[in-house]
Structure 1
Amino acid sequence: TLGRYEEAIAAYEKALEGDANVGDRLTLGEIWVNLSAMQWRLERYDQAIEAANRATGINPESAEAWYNQGLALMALKRYPEAVVAYEQAIKLDATNADFWAAEGIALRFLGDYQMALMALSKALELNPSHLQAQANLAVVMQQLQPPIVPPPPPPTQP
C-alpha cells in the first residue's frame, strides 16, 4: 500500500513533467487533486497543501481540491484555514456529506460548537450513516449541554 502510493505519486509527477502536453486544464487540475490526495495519505501535509493549491489555481471550481486542502490543513491543526477550504468545497458541492462533516469537525476543534452542530447535522441529513459526523455530533452535543453543578452540601449542625 505504501509502495502503491509512492508509485502513484511517481506516475502523477511524470505526467506533470510535460505540463503543456497534458490534455486540457481540467485533466491537469485532476492530476494535482490526485497528487494532493496521495501526499495526504502519506502524511506529507505540506506537499498535499501545495498540490491542492496548484489544483485550485488551475481549476478553482474543483470541490475535491478544496476538500483535500482542508484535510491537509486539519492534519497540521490549521483549523481556521481548513474551515475556509471546506467552505469553498461546500460552496461548489453542497450535497457532499464528507465536506460538511469535515467542516463540522474543524469548527468543533475551534470551539465553535453551534456552527459545528449545524455542519454535522447537515452531513447527517445528507448521509444518516456518516460515522465521523455521528461521533463528532455526539461530542458537540455534550459540549453544548449546560454543566452539571452538584448541589451544595447540607448545612452542618453544631
Structure 2
Amino acid sequence: MHAFSLPFSVVSQTIQPDYGYGASGSPPVIPPNSVLKFDVELLDSHPKPKDKWEMNVGEKLEGANAEKERGNEAFKKGGYAEAAAAYREGLDFFSFSENWTDEEREQQKRLELPLRLNLATCCNRLGEFSEAIEQTTKALEMDPESSKGWYRRGVARMAVGQLDEARHDFVQAAKLDPKNVEIRRELEKCKKKIEEVRAKEKSAFGNIFKKVDLYTGKSALLSPCAPSSVVSVRAEKQGVRNVSKCPKVYMDIKVGDNAPKRVVFALYNDTVPKTAENFRALCTGTG
C-alpha cells in the first residue's frame, strides 16, 4: 500500500495476495490467492497539533485552560481517573515557563493553582494519597492562604496515618475558613483517631513503667508527669548477684504526650561479656 501526502477524498488501493490473505485466503468470503481492492474515503482531517515546546505563551495558557475544563467535566461525571489525566496534561503546559514575564506568570498561577488542587482531589478519591500530598504542598507554596490546599492535604495525610500532620493542616484550614462544616468535621475525625492511637499506645506500653527498682527491690509506679523519674528493670533472679555492682545503661522512652521515662538496664558482663558490651555500645552510641 502506498502512502499519500496530497489531500484527497477517495482513493483506490490494490493489495496483492502476498500482502493480503495469501494462499490461505479467508473462507468463505475471500478465496485463496485473491487480489484485494479497497476504496478509502477520507471523512475528516485536521492539522497535526503543535508540540508544547513549539507553542507560544498564549497557546500554552489556552491549552492548560482547555485541559482544566475537560478535567472538570470528567470530574462532574465521576470520571476521576480521566479528570486527573486532564489536570496533569494541563500542568504539563507549564514545564518550560522560566522566561515568562511577571504578567504571564500571574496568568499561569491563576491556572496552575486550581489544576493542582483539583488533581489532589482526584488523587484522594482514587487513593493516590502520596501524589495528593505532593500536589497540595506545591499549591500551598504558591498560595499559603489556600484553605482548600490545607484541607485536601490534611485528608491525604490522615489517610496514610500522618495524624499529627493532618491535624495541623485541618487547623490551618479551619483558621482560614472557620465556617466550613466539612473542615470542622474532618478535624474532629482526626482528633478522634489521634485519641484512639494514644489509647492503644498507652495500653501497649504503659506497663513498662511499672517495674521493680534495681536498687531498692521495691515496686515503683511512676507518675506520668514526673520528668526525671527513673524506672529500673529487674533482670536477675533473687539472690543470684548484686546488680548494684553491675555496669548500667539507660534509655529515655517517651510514650504519647507523656514526659519521657528512664529505663535502666544492668549489664551482666561477668556472664555474657560480649552481649553486655554490644548492648552498651548500642545504648551509648560508642564503639
Match of 2:217 in 1: none
Is 1:139 the counterpart of 2:189? The answer is yes
Contact 1:101 1:132 in 2 (8 A): no
Give, in whole Å, the separation in 1 of the partners of 2:153 and 2:161: 12
Give, in whole Å, the separation in 2 of the partners of 1:122 and 1:65: 21
How many residues align? The count is 134
Between the two structures, name the one with larger relative contact order (CA 8 Å, sep ≥ 6): 1
Match of 1:53 in 2: 88
2:131 is aligned, of 81, 95, 115, to: 81
Distance 1:24 1:121, change over 3 A: same
Give, in whole Å, the separation in 2 of the partners of 1:137 and 1:18: 50
C-alpha offsets along residues 57-93 of structure 1, whole Å, 9 cap, x if unaligned?
1136411111111111111111111111111111112
Q: Where does 1:92-111 land on structure 2 (aligned, <5 Å)?
A: 92-111=142-161
Larger-gyration structure (1/2): 2
Is 1:32 the counterpart of 2:67? The answer is yes
Give, in whole Å, the separation in 1 of the partners of 2:82 and 2:188: 33
For 1:128, what is the secondary structure of its paired residue? coil
Contact 2:70 2:83 in 1 (8 A): yes
Is 1:63 the counterpart of 2:113? The answer is yes
For 2:127, what is the secondary structure of its paired residue? coil
Letter in 1 for 2:164: Q
C-alpha offsets along residues 9-37 of structure 1, whole Å, 9 cap, x if unaligned?
xxxxxxxx99669x532232122112212
> Hey, which of these two has a bigger chunk of helix by percent?
1
> Hey, which of these two has a bigger chunk of strand by percent?
2
Give, in whole Å, the separation in 2 of the partners of 1:58 and 1:47: 18
Q: Which moved more, 1:28-37 or 1:114-123?
A: 28-37
Letter in 1 for 2:77: L
Give, in whole Å, the separation in 2 of the partners of 1:18 and 1:26: 19
Is 1:126 the counterpart of 2:176? The answer is yes
Is 1:44 the counterpart of 2:79? The answer is yes
* Shift >3 Å, 4+ stretches: 17-21
Q: Which runs of 5+ in 2 are unaligned?
A: 1-46, 96-108, 204-287
Give, in whole Å, the separation in 2 of the partners of 1:19 and 1:94: 36
Contact 2:124 2:155 in 1 (8 A): no
CA-based RMSD of the aligned residues comes to 2.6
Give, in whole Å, the separation in 2 of the partners of 1:38 and 1:95: 27
Contact 1:67 1:86 in 2 (8 A): yes
Q: Which moved more, 1:54-63 or 1:69-78?
A: 54-63
TM-score by length of structure 2 reads 0.43
